[in-house]
């Protein structure tokens, strides 16, 4: 039987061990033995850790409580630094430590799983005498310890399929000022940067909304669709960090100097363009700019019949990538080059459907807008039944209709059938797997949903909304720490992110019982949705109960009043809503999470007839 459990994995090894052994084998061995005999056992016992194994120059522990692992690491580094005989003629005997929290496979004499590999990679990038921890570790302990942290950012670690959020532990009274082993840039460093391991990093790029030079303002959707498609095509390259089109569209209608974008969203390259369309003819002007020196790297005009639009797009992508001198594989090039339809009318109908879906997910959350979306998606399929993406988005339409109570449970069956058809028609498009993941998630089939999301991310690691939606799914499966890391990475890819990203963070913080953090995050939302009002109400209600148990009557009364106010605001929008309806809608895997959620809502005043 396979045993799995949550663990904080602690990996440490000695800096420059091989060199020290070559210079003084016996002396180095004796110093290591002394540390493992006299420093490790009492420190490990103090913080309730378990020795998993020693590895020559290193050691691996695991802890049931992340806060114990972090405090043990700080104490361990302090004890080693103060311990006699750690200095050799070649320097100090110093350790690097990496800590990660996650679900591991446990055997009698070892532990396995991706969280273990992440901890080992974090150890490799920690500074000598320092501690590097993952975002999941930080979010587990940030309010439970006096230890200070500094944010490093998202790092691409060797053989780890997605960037990891990294923090370093601030250790005071160090013997000397150690320089970080983490990579540095020769230009401004922003929190949006996604670094690779070593001195090289992924070229970062944003495609700004193409300008509509046509007389017809109705052609805006065509320009926007072109911008989104070019962003998607470039996002599929694993060696590029591409900022989400959501953030890019925040600059629509403005002319921001490209140099400013380096500091605002952390990009090194900016693609700008303009489209002029007259009847069947289209002319596209494209420029590629380098932000460091605010210079134009490349510019070209593409002109042709609109029927050849896809060929024009392919040519643009190829020339932009060539100008970046990207290190791209043949497989990636072929994947980007694939187009799903040769029917430009079907493509335009699809773009119009996306236009209405974007409106629905934004400020026009009404049934009429959603039905407009369905009409255009069905038109795209009518014109080309083998065009995969409209099938996937039509599946998503049915999910949204079900979520808003405008259709019954049979809508999910219809959605699943359509999503599977989309995947069958084009298994190389991340959009189709994303649609299937969304359907399976909302159907409560979490394992299949995760598999579909992971396949979608394998095909397009740069899609911020995809990372955020997968984070939402992970929160429903109880993987709240991983969900937080995912949505925070989405925020880095999409600096001008939509408000629903914050909804996911607030949802995760609620289940981690960090109600203050949930309220603070959700309080930043300008136009709270129904779900946001419910989470805020439940958070205040749970805080009220917490204050009551501590005898803080005034705080308890204040939190209770806030809970009631938010629940009143929700019920004014949904007067028919009840606890039973919420229970039937909530697809939560963990029974304890469901109980915790419904308990908060009931305490906040959601009717339970």
Instruction: For residue 454, give both structure tokens.
Output: 């992971």
List the Cα angle 108/110/113 in 5-degree steps: 125
Residue-wise pLDDT for 453-486, tens only, equals: 999 988 888 788 899 999 999 999 988 988 998 8
pLDDT value, residue 564: 96
The answer to whether domain 3-182 and domain 342-460 are alike in fold is no
pLDDT band at 417 (very low <50, low <70, confident <90, very high): very high
pLDDT band at 358 (very low <50, low <70, confident <90, very high): confident
Q: Is the pLDDT of residue 16 over 80?
A: no
Kindly report the number of other CB atoms within 10 A of residue 84's CB atom.
Answer: 8
Residue-wise pLDDT for 574-604, tens only, equals: 999 999 989 888 888 889 999 999 999 999 9
pLDDT band at 363 (very low <50, low <70, confident <90, very high): low
Instruction: For residue 438, give both structure tokens.
Output: 């969304």
Query: What single-letter DSSP state applies at residue 218?
Result: G
Q: State in Å, rounded, how far the first CA of the chain is from the last one.
A: 44
Q: Is the pLDDT of residue 187 over 60?
A: no
Place of tokens 């500074």: 127
Percent of the chain with pLDDT over 90: 38
271 φ, ψ to 5°? -105, 125
Average pLDDT of span 539-545: 96
Average pLDDT of span 95-111: 87
- How far, in Å, CA of 356 to CA of 393, rounded? 11
Domain 3-182 has CATH 3.30.70.1230: yes
* Residue-by-residue DSSP string for 137-188: HHHHHTTT-S-EEEEEEEEE-TT-SS-EEEEEEE-SS-SS-PPP-S---SS-
pLDDT band at 505 (very low <50, low <70, confident <90, very high): very high
Q: Name the CATH superfamily housing domain 204-339.
A: TolB, N-terminal domain (3.40.50.10070)
User: If you average pLDDT over each of 14-23, 78-87, 160-169, which comes out highest?
Assistant: 160-169
Contact 369, 360 (CB under 8 A): yes
Average pLDDT of span 412-418: 95
> Which CATH code, of 3.40.50.1240, 3.40.50.80, 1.10.10.10, 1.25.40.10, is assigned to 466-609?
1.25.40.10
Which carries the bigger pLDDT value, residue 442 or residue 537? Answer: 537
Mean pLDDT of the chain: 83
- Is the whole-model pTM more than 0.85? no
Q: Is the pLDDT of residue 340 over 70?
A: no
pLDDT band at 180 (very low <50, low <70, confident <90, very high): very low
Average pLDDT of span 343-361: 85
Q: Give which of 602, 522, 526, 515 is closest to 555, Cα–Cα.
A: 515
Q: Name the CATH superfamily housing domain 342-460.
A: Tetratricopeptide repeat domain (1.25.40.10)
Sequence-distant contacts of 35-39: CB under 8 A, at least 24 apart: 35/80, 35/83, 35/86, 35/93, 38/83, 39/76, 39/79, 39/80, 39/83
Q: Is the pLDDT of residue 189 over 50?
A: no
Q: Is the pLDDT of residue 192 over 50?
A: no
pLDDT value, residue 195: 37
pLDDT value, residue 322: 60
Residue-wise pLDDT for 42-74, tens only, equals: 888 899 998 888 877 788 999 999 999 999 999
Q: Is the pLDDT of residue 502 over 60?
A: yes
Which carries the bigger pLDDT value, residue 429 or residue 172? Answer: 429
What are the residue boundaries of the structural domains of the chain, listed by start? Answer: 3-182, 204-339, 342-460, 466-609
């Amino acid at each position: 039987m396979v045993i799995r459990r949550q663990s904080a994995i602690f990996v440490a090894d000695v800096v420059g061990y091989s060199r020290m052994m070559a210079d003084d084998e016996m002396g180095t061995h004796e110093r290591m033995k002394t540390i493992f005999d006299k420093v490790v056992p009492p420190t490990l016992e103090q913080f309730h850790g378990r020795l998993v194994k020693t590895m020559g120059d290193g050691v691996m522990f695991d802890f049931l409580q992340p806060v114990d692992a972090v405090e043990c690491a700080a104490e361990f580094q302090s004890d080693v630094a103060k311990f006699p005989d750690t200095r050799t003629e070649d320097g100090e005997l110093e350790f690097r430590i990496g800590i990660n929290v996650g679900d591991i496979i446990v055997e009698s004499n070892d532990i396995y799983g991706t969280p273990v590999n992440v901890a080992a990679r974090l150890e490799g990038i920690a500074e000598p005498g320092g501690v590097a921890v993952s975002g999941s570790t930080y979010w587990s302990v940030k309010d439970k310890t006096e230890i200070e942290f500094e944010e490093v950012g998202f790092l691409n670690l060797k053989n780890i399929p997605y960037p990891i959020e990294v923090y370093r532990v601030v250790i005071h009274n160090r013997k000397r000022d150690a320089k970080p082993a983490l990579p540095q840039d020769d230009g401004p460093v922003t929190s949006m940067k996604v670094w690779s391991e070593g001195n090289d990093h992924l070229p970062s790029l944003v495609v700004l909304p193409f300008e509509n030079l046509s007389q017809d303002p109705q052609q805006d959707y065509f320009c926007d669709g072109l911008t989104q498609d070019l962003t998607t095509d470039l996002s599929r390259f694993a060696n590029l960090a591409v900022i989400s089109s959501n953030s890019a569209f925040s600059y629509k209608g403005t002319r921001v100097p490209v140099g400013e974008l380096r500091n605002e969203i952390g990009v090194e390259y900016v693609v700008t363009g303009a489209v002029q369309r007259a009847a069947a003819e289209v002319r596209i002007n494209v420029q590629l700019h380098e932000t460091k020196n605010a210079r134009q790297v490349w510019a070209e005009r593409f002109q042709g019949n609109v029927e050849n639009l896809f060929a024009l797009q392919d040519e643009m992508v190829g020339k932009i990538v060539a100008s970046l001198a990207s290190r791209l594989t043949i497989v990636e090039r072929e994947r980007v080059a694939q187009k799903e339809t040769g029917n430009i009318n079907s493509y335009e109908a699809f773009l119009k459907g996306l236009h209405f879906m974007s409106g629905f997910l934004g400020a026009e959350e009404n049934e009429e807008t959603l039905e407009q979306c369905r009409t255009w998606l069905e038109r795209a399929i009518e014109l080309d039944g083998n065009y995969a993406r409209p099938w996937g988005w039509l599946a998503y339409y049915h999910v949204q209709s079900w979520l808003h109570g405008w259709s019954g449970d049979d809508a999910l069956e219809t959605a699943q059938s359509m999503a599977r058809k989309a995947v069958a028609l084009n298994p190389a498009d991340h959009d189709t797997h994303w649609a299937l993941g969304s359907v399976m998630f909302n159907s409560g089939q979490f394992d299949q949903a995760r598999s579909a999301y992971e396949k979608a991310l394998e095909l397009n690691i740069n899609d911020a909304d995809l990372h955020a939606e997968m984070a939402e799914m992970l929160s429903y499966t109880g993987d709240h720490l991983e969900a937080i890391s995912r949505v925070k990475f989405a925020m880095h890819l999409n600096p001008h992110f939509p408000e629903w990203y914050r909804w996911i963070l607030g949802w995760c913080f609620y289940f981690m019982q960090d109600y203050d953090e949930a309220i603070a995050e959700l309080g930043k939302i300008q136009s709270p949705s129904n779900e946001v009002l419910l989470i805020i109400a439940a958070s205040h209600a749970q805080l009220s109960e917490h204050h009551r148990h501590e005898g803080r009557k005034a705080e308890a009364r204040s939190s209770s009043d806030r809970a009631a106010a938010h629940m009143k605001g929700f019920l004014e929008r949904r007067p028919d809503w009840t606890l039973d309806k919420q229970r039937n809608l909530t697809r939560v895997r963990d029974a304890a999470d469901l109980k915790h959620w419904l308990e908060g809502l009931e305490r906040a005043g959601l009717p339970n007839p």
